[in-house]
Structure 1
């Protein structure tokens, strides 16, 4: 590499690097604006924090104030001002629960948060963020909150961390383990990789058991659905139950393991002497409405709030045309490939149609097995015909998104995207394009059920 400008020409990406953070000065004198600008992006920024915001325009400070208030509820930050003494000093106050305090008298976690939000405002949606060990400054809830603020504001983020909380918020494919002595990092691709990562971070089965013992609320999923479900929750609700550290998520397997949920109530009462609130969410798979109704009645007798998704699995709720197309188009732009909305829609429809016949066969197979188990006396041809009518009705109204296998569809869609455009999209990229209006009514209902049952 010849020099910095040569590198910038070759790689014209804007990178926002958050410098080392430190505590604010008790007294901060007015400094020369040119000097303040020269240290604004360095480790000396904390010592000139009030000066930095004194030099900004009212519009810039308003953006900062709104960003802080939006992600730290109950806080109102005021613009810096001279104290009128001699020699003059700059003061900057904030209000919390009716109390006014100078920022020096806040906790270091809040001081670090103010600094990070200041540096976040340097960047734009197309920029890259580099952040080193924010867990040093913030407790667990703020770490999770910071992660999602960063994901929303930047195209790509690089966070060095020892925090299991931050790692749990990210998609597995986005986590890379870096160990001394290795030439390169290792990307997590399995549950075993997660266990290895947690072992390196110092967590253990004992720590998980301790969380179980103090849990007040439990959400039981079939598989690794917590992250995606939480993304939907954060789109719709502020302070949802999955963001609460007293909510524990556990994996119970599918329908055949429903008795595990039934046993949870007994376990908490007998082992921990407590009445835990429990909600269990199950995938629909290829089951009929009748089988689902029967299953939910069976579990409701156990005292556990149970809900079966109306769509085949949780990934199916990502299959909304507008955000799906937007994710494809953005992925294309990153590779300088322009993809029209019509092209994206046509590709989605083509991939979906390939799955239609297999989907119908699976639905009819499930219906036949359930009819045989219930011994309802129906002729097999009647069972198959009824299942097809139900399938055709779903496909003609809500489209493929309800009954198709969501996971496999997204895998096949990415194969088609790689073949045609050389791009990929992830679940997180699709979820980032969602607005509340895109969230299916069934998902809204489930979110309401989970939060009301566990509140």
Structure 2
């Protein structure tokens, strides 16, 4: 897939690099360079299609690059005026676009005021000099949604070469029925997928029939191709249907015919559709393609992705950067002039609001979710959440939960998951009871904190590289005793004294040690009551020193199987998704 794209002396970019991820939502103010980025991606997509064809030639001398084979790009279908592409309209300079792929393949596009050529490089950096070498290099396919418009009321059958030349260009809307008929003739499965996906995504829709003209007609007497659509029990030819449905079916057709591509690119698809369809579109493409790039300002689309997938385009910057959190995304929206609140929109769409101890907790849970359910393409990070930063702030959650319950008549669920910490069970039970009165579904981890669920002896042993599992467990048990036995008692004592102000320190210490000793009989019990964060820090240092191995949370997740995780944490993930 594409890793980044670099622009040198191309339109608004003097020298700018735009990073790309598996999901990239590009946003930017008017005239910030978003359209230029999309234009560059169109050129990369065109170059990949051209690379399969023969007749590679030397790169012309005007580009001042010796001994490089290249392909001339036919830009007629893209309607790009090469006279205007140089940065600030400077004369006698060469514009350049470079597409970098994550497998080390690379495409360089050289552009003058009248021609454009593409040079291709394989994973070893060698210039590719023939179509056969290009095919061997396995460049990933990139498809970009063409500029679409209303479908013609009537469309007669075209020659095969006309359909092929107009595919994925501004002519796609005018050739819509021809493309479908041509593809159906070659491979009916693409047409069947189109019908199925269209009917799944538009309520009350059925693709009734694609009627090809009968043979024997000549010229203008040839009947048009007909695509019969039923919408809400009314059947008509697509040319007489509403503009919204026409646009949606063209997007669905693009998705289905691009099934073999790694990367798909959509340029402001939100201008064509209702908010519900915008959210549906994001889910569809996330599920079907390895990489999705969307240029959009739509809050609906932004609400369906993680903040880390939002990229701010700014022509004044040399390197564009992704957002880091939901606050930075909200700030970006406000900079763009939007008054919508993305968190409130997520709450309205998902019908839930989740309180967590820290935002990092949800990130950790999402990593486990992605590990255990790789077939699912959604993310826990798109759930609307609020950081509570500890049980002492529970009154805030109670108040908001009551507000949602009253204002929405219970249609929005409010859930809360917090660390157990060293609170006694009686105190936890009391808070759960109070939460019910506030219509808050409150849960506490059974273990001290979420990090404790990564203290998995079996997985730690595998990472260590030791040969004897029993000896490893003995070492681990000894490390826990040495580092945490007294600390657990002290922490329990502090919490008991905090909750029982009349107790003196002697009584608090005595009761704390009783509680600790009841939970200090087995390694599993110890790993549940110690501080998970501190334990992971200790284990990381131990593994680095003694085994020369890395042992972070990511390492533990990588080496674990679904059955290795505590059943409670899997059930908690399902509970949050309900």
| TM-score normalized by the length of structure 1 | 0.67
2:433: which partner in 1? 297
2:353: which partner in 1? 219
2:91: which partner in 1? none
Considering only CA atoms, is the larger Rg found in Structure 1 or Structure 2?
Answer: 2
Partner of 2:353: helix, strand, or coil? Answer: strand
Instruction: Pick the structure with more strand per residue.
Output: 2
**Distance in 1, Cα, partners of 2:341 & 2:121:** 46
1:381: which partner in 2? 513
CA distances 1:155-176 after superposition (whole Å, capped 9, x unpaired) = 2222111122222322222221
CA-CA distance at 1:67 after TM superposition? 3.0
Please provide the CA RMSD for this pair.
5.5
Instruction: Pick the structure with more helix per residue.
Output: 1
CA-CA distance at 1:50 after TM superposition? 1.1
**Distance in 1, Cα, partners of 2:286 & 2:149:** 24
Is the contact between residue 215 and residue 248 of structure 1 (CA under 8 Å) also seen in structure 2? no
Partner of 1:379: helix, strand, or coil? Answer: helix
**In the alignment, structure 1 residue 392 sits paired with structure 2 residue 524:** yes
Is the contact between residue 493 and residue 511 of structure 2 (CA under 8 Å) also seen in structure 1? no
**Distance in 2, Cα, partners of 1:366 & 1:196:** 40
2:205: which partner in 1? 75
- Identify the match of residue 155 of structure 2 among 18, 24, 28: 28
User: In structure 2, do the counterparts of structure 1 residues 114 and 269 end up closer, same or farther at CA, with 3 Å as the change threshold?
Assistant: closer
**Distance in 1, Cα, partners of 2:232 & 2:485:** 58
CA-CA distance at 1:126 after TM superposition? 6.7
**Distance in 2, Cα, partners of 1:215 & 1:147:** 14
User: In structure 2, do the counterparts of structure 1 residues 184 and 391 end up closer, same or farther at CA, with 3 Å as the change threshold?
Assistant: same
CA distances 1:136-162 after superposition (whole Å, capped 9, x unpaired) = 122222222222222222222221111
Count of residue correspondences: 406
**In the alignment, structure 1 residue 7 sits paired with structure 2 residue 120:** yes
**In the alignment, structure 1 residue 38 sits paired with structure 2 residue 168:** no
2:145: which partner in 1? 18
Is the contact between residue 452 and residue 527 of structure 2 (CA under 8 Å) also seen in structure 1? no
Task: Name which of structure 1's ranges 376-385 and 161-170 shifts more when overlaid on structure 2.
Answer: 376-385
CA distances 1:332-365 after superposition (whole Å, capped 9, x unpaired) = xxxxxxxxxx999944999xx9999589888766
**In the alignment, structure 1 residue 307 sits paired with structure 2 residue 434:** no
User: In structure 2, do the counterparts of structure 1 residues 380 and 14 end up closer, same or farther at CA, with 3 Å as the change threshold?
Assistant: same
Is the contact between residue 266 and residue 293 of structure 2 (CA under 8 Å) also seen in structure 1? yes
**Distance in 2, Cα, partners of 1:385 & 1:445:** 28
User: In structure 2, do the counterparts of structure 1 residues 389 and 99 end up closer, same or farther at CA, with 3 Å as the change threshold?
Assistant: farther
| TM-score normalized by the length of structure 2 | 0.54
Partner of 2:443: helix, strand, or coil? Answer: strand
**In the alignment, structure 1 residue 145 sits paired with structure 2 residue 267:** no
Q: Gapped runs of 5+ residues in structure 2?
A: 1-64, 72-117, 126-136, 467-474
2:190: which partner in 1? 60
**Distance in 1, Cα, partners of 2:486 & 2:258:** 50
User: In structure 2, do the counterparts of structure 1 residues 27 and 273 end up closer, same or farther at CA, with 3 Å as the change threshold?
Assistant: closer
- Identify the match of residue 202 of structure 1 among 333, 337, 359: 337
